[in-house]
Chain A
Amino acid sequence: MIKTEEMMLNVGPQHPSTHGVFRLVVKLDGEIITEAQPVIGYLHRGTEKLAENLQYTQIIPYTDRMDYLSAMTNNYVICHAVETMMGIEIPERADFLRVIAMELGRVASHLVWWGTYLLDLGATSPFIYAFREREMIINMLNELSGGRLTFNYMRVGGVKWDAPEGWIQKVKEFIPYMREQLAGYHSLVTGNEIFLNRVKGIGQYTKEDALQYSLSGVNLRCTGVKWDLRKDEPYSIYNRFDFDVPVQESGDAWARYQCRMAEIEESLKILEQAAEQFPEEGEILAKVPKIIKAPKGEAFVRIESPRGEIGCYIYSDGKKEPYRLKFRRPSFYNLQILPKLLKGENIANMIAILGAIDIVLGEVDG
C-alpha cells in the first residue's frame, strides 16, 4: 500500500508568476491543490495612514504607486472624490486630457496583462510585443506628464500639464497602429490550440459567485454582468463617447482574456473620439483654492480602472488633510476568490488562474 501525504508548498513571495511579492501557501496532493491560502501585505505601505497627514494634492503621487500599471485612473479617483465633495466643475479640455490619459493607461495596462499572462503560460515572445506597444503609450504619457510609470498628472480641478504641441496628433496616429498590432496579437495567440487548452474552462465561476465575492471589472464582466462604471455611473465625460462594454458568459480565463482584448479595442474607440473632439482651446485647471479643503462630510466615489472598480472614500473634517482616506482597491477584492478557484486544480492551472485575475500587488497591499 502506497502511503501518500500532502505537501505544503510556498508559492512566493519570490516566485516568477506571482507578479510581485505575493505568497500563496498551497497544500498539494501530488500536483493537485487541496487548499490554498493567499498571504498578502508584503507591499503594504500604509498609504491610507500616510494620507491622513498629507494635503490632497500631496496624496496624488501616492496613488500612483498603488496600481502602478494604470496610475492615471488612480490619480483620477482621488481627484474625482475631492472634486465631488467640493462641487468643482472641470474645464472641458482638462476632462478630455484626463480621459485620453486614462484610456491610454487602460490600453497599456491590458497590454502588460496580455504579455505577462502569456509569459505565465510559457510563451515568451508576446510579452515583448506587448511591451513594444506599451512603450509607445508610455512615451506619450511621458510627454504629457513627465513620468513614465508614476505620472502624478492630475490635480483637483483638472490636470497639471497641457498637452504638448502635436501630442493629440500622436495619439491619433497611434490608434490605427494599435489596431493593426491587435489583429496581429489575435492571429499569434488567440487561436493557438495550446493556449486555448490552457485557458478554456479554467478558473470558472458563476455570476452569483462573482457578485458574492465582490469581483469587479473584467472579472465580473466575464460572467455576463454588463457593468462598466464608465457606462453605468458615468463620470468625467464618458457619456459623450460611443463604446461597448464587452461581456462574456462563460466566466473562465478564456472569457476574461476575450473581454480584455475587446476592451483594448473599446478604449481605442474612446481614444479616437476623444482625440477627434478634443477642444482646441481652454483651461486645464479649474479655479480652485490654493489650499484645497474638502468640505466636512464624507464621500465615496468609484470609477472603472483596468482592474475593476476603484473607489475612494474620504471623510473630511474641513481641513486641508483628509481625516480618513480609504481606497477600494479592485485587485484586493478580486483576489479574494482565489482560494475558492484553486481548490482541486493543479499547479499549472494555478498560474493560469492567478494570472487571469490580473492583480497588481501594489494595489492589493495598499
Chain B
Amino acid sequence: MSGEKDLEQLKREAVAKAKAEAAAKRAAREAGQKPAESAAPKQEETPVEATPAAGSGAGDADDLAKKKAAAAAKAKAAALAKNKREGIADEEPAAEAAAPAPGVPEAGAGDADDLAKKKAAAVAKAKAAAAAKRKAMELAGGADQASEPAATPEAPEAADAGAGGDADDLAKKKAAAVAKAKAAAAAKRKAMELAGGADQAAEPAAEAGGDDAKAKAAAAAKAKAAAAAKAKAAAAAKAKREGGAEDVPAGDDEKAKAIAAAKAKAAAVAAAKAKAAAAKGGAAGAGAAEAKPSPNQPYLDKYVKVIEENMGSEVLEDFYINKLSKDVPTLVVKREAYFKLAQFLKYNELLGFDYLSELHGTDFETHMEIYVHLYSYKNRQSVAFKVKIDRNEPIIESLQPVWAGADWPECEAYDLLGIKFTGHPNLHRIMLGEEWVGYPLRKDYEPYDVEV
C-alpha cells in the first residue's frame, strides 16, 4: 500500500508541475491572444445572451462539423450535453479563481471539471441537480462570463507562478527533444481554438486551462480520490463507461476529452510523468526530468525524429515510453497516416522494423484501437504503434501488403471486433465462421443465440 501512496505523491507532484507548466503556457498564449480575445467576448455576448444553449452549441457544432460530419445527426443531443458541460467547465475556473489555495482547489476543479464532463455525457443523476444549478447560474451570468473566463485562468496562474517558473526551467532543459511536439500541440490547439468560433474564443483560456486540466484530470481525480472521495473517481469512471455510447455522438470535443482522460489515466499510473510528456510537450520536460529517463528514450527520440523529418510532424498524434510495458516506445499515429507510417517503419533504413510481432484491435467504446507491436531484427529494437479509429465505422488499411504476417491477425480482428481492413487479400471470419452474428470482443456484444 505504501507504494500506492508514493504513487499518489508522485501524481500530486506531477499534477502541480503540469499545472504550473500549463499556467505558464497560458500566460504566453494569452499575451499573443489578447487581441483576439478582446474581440471574442463581444462576439460571444450576443449568442450567449440570446440563446445560450444554441450559442455554445453552435460553436461546438462548427467544430463538430469540421472534424466529424458523421455525427451531425446527433449534433443536437451533443449540443445539449455540451452546453451543460461547458457551462460547468466555464464556471469552474471562476470558482477556482476565487479559491485561495492554488494547488488543491485547482485539482478539485480539474476533477470536478472532468467529472462534470463525464456526468454530462452520462447524464448522471447524482450531481445533476448541482450541475443544473451551476449551469443556470452561469447562464444567468452570461454577460459576465465573456470577460470572466479570460480573466480566470490568469488568477491561478499568478498564484502558481513560482512553481510554474521552476517547471519551466526544467522544461526548457529538455526542450530540444520536445520542442517540436510542443509546437505541434500548440498549433493544434490554436487551430482548434480558432475553429471553435466565438464561443471558443472566450473559452480558449478556459480550454487551454481545461485542456491541461483535462490532460491531467484523471491524475488530479486520483489524487483527490485518494485524499477524499475514491468513490467519486469510481463513479466517474463508471459514468464514463456508461456514457461511452453517448460519447461518440457527443462529438469531437468530448471525444478528445475522453481520449485525453484515458491517456491521462494511463499516465497517472505510470507515475504521471511519461504521460505528461505525451499529453503535453511542455510537461514532458518536467516529467521526464523528474523521474529517471527510460533507457529507451533515445530510441523513441530517434524514431520520432526520423518520422517527423520524413513525414512531417502531422503524422504522430502522440508518442511516449510505455513504462508499464517494459519501456516500449509507443507511437500513436493519426488515422490518415497509418498505412504510410507502417510502410515507413518497415522500409526506412534507420528504422527497419521488419517483423510484425503482434497486431490486434481493442474496443474502447469511444473508439477502436489497433495495436501493432513491431520488431527490428536489424536494430534489435521494438516499437509499438497504435491508431485510433472510429468505432461506428471501423475501417482501416490492411498491413498485410507490408507484413504478410498481419494476414491472420487482421482476420481475427475483423472476426472478433468487426474492424474492416481495406486491401486485405482474404478478409474472412477466421474463428467464428461467416454466419456468426455480431462481434464478440466488442463491449456491447449481445450473444445472438441465447442458448450460448
Contacts and interface: CB of A to CB of B under 8 A. Distances in A.
Q: Do chains A and B touch in the complex (CB under 8 A)?
A: yes
Interface of A: 40-41, 44, 46, 48-49, 84-85, 87, 211-216, 225, 227, 232-233, 295-302, 309, 311, 313, 315, 317-318, 323-324, 326, 328, 332-333, 335-337, 365-366
A84 to B, nearest CB: 6
B293 to A, nearest CB: 17
A335 B412 CA distance: 14
Contact of B431 (A41, A87, A326): A41
Contact of B358 (A48, A295, A311, A324): A311
Given A212-B403, A309-B357, A326-B360, 5 more contacts: A295-B324, A300-B328, A302-B357, A311-B373, A313-B373
A213 B407 CA distance: 9
Contacts of A85: 324-325
Interface stretch (B119-127, B155-163, B264-272, B308-316): B264-272
A332 B359 CA distance: 12
A40 B431 CA distance: 6
A41 B433 contact: yes
Contacts of A336: 404-405, 407-408
A36 to B, nearest CB: 13
Interface of B is mostly: mixed
Given A213-B405, A333-B408, A315 B377 contact: no
Nearest to B426: A37
Interface string B325-362: 11010000000000000000000000000111110101
B277 to A, nearest CB: 14
B189 to A, nearest CB: 25
Interface in B257-276: 265-266, 268-270
B27 interface: no
Top 3 A-B pairs, shortest CB-CB distance: A214-B405, A295-B269, A299-B325
B299 interface: no
B105 interface: no
Contacts of A212: 354, 403-405
Contact of B325 (A301, A323, A335, A366): A301
B296 to A, nearest CB: 12
A318 B408 contact: no
Contacts of B412: 332, 366
30 contacts: A44-B431, A49-B445, A84-B324, A211-B354, A211-B377, A212-B405, A214-B355, A214-B356, A214-B404, A214-B405, A225-B377, A227-B377, A233-B326, A295-B269, A296-B268, A297-B265, A298-B324, A298-B325, A299-B325, A311-B373, A317-B237, A317-B265, A323-B362, A324-B363, A326-B371, A332-B408, A336-B405, A336-B407, A337-B404, A366-B412
B230 to A, nearest CB: 11
B409 interface: yes
B265 A296 contact: yes
A302 B328 CA distance: 12
Contact of A296 (B266, B357, B371): B266
Given A317-B237, A326-B360, A333 B326 contact: no
Contacts of B409: 332-333
B358 A41 contact: no
A328 B357 contact: yes
Contacts of A41: 430-433
Contacts of A311: 357-358, 373
B356 A297 contact: no
A318 B408 CA distance: 30
A302 B375 CA distance: 12
A297 B403 contact: no
Contacts of B356: 214
For A48, A300, A302, the residue with the greatest tally of chain B CB atoms inside 10 Å of its CB is A300
B32 to A, nearest CB: 35
B358 to A, nearest CB: 4
A315 B364 CA distance: 10
B440 interface: yes
A298 B358 CA distance: 14
Contacts of A309: 357
A323 to B, nearest CB: 8
B380 interface: yes
Contacts of B445: 49
Contacts of B201: none
Nearest to A333: B405
B405 to A, nearest CB: 2
B405 A313 contact: no
A313 B440 contact: no
Contacts of A44: 431-432
A298 B371 contact: yes
B322 interface: yes
B384 A300 contact: yes
Contacts of B408: 332-333, 335-336
A49 B441 CA distance: 6
A317 B366 CA distance: 14
Contacts of A297: 265-266, 269-270, 322, 324-325
A313 B265 CA distance: 18
A298 B322 contact: yes
Contacts of A84: 324-326
A232 B3 CA distance: 30
Contacts of B441: 48-49, 324
Given A40-B431, A366-B431, A324 B354 contact: no
A46 B302 CA distance: 39
A300 B431 contact: no
Nearest to B241: A317
B405 A300 contact: no
B226 to A, nearest CB: 13
Contacts of B324: 84-85, 295, 297-299
Contact of A315 (B354, B362, B432): B362
A211 B373 CA distance: 14
A183 B412 CA distance: 42
Contacts of A302: 357-358, 373
A211 B375 CA distance: 10
Nearest to B441: A49
B288 to A, nearest CB: 17
A273 to B, nearest CB: 25
Nearest to B429: A41
B438 to A, nearest CB: 11
A215 B408 CA distance: 12
Contact of A46 (B355, B357, B433, B440): B440
Contacts of A324: 362-363, 441
A239 B269 CA distance: 29
Contacts of A214: 355-357, 403-406
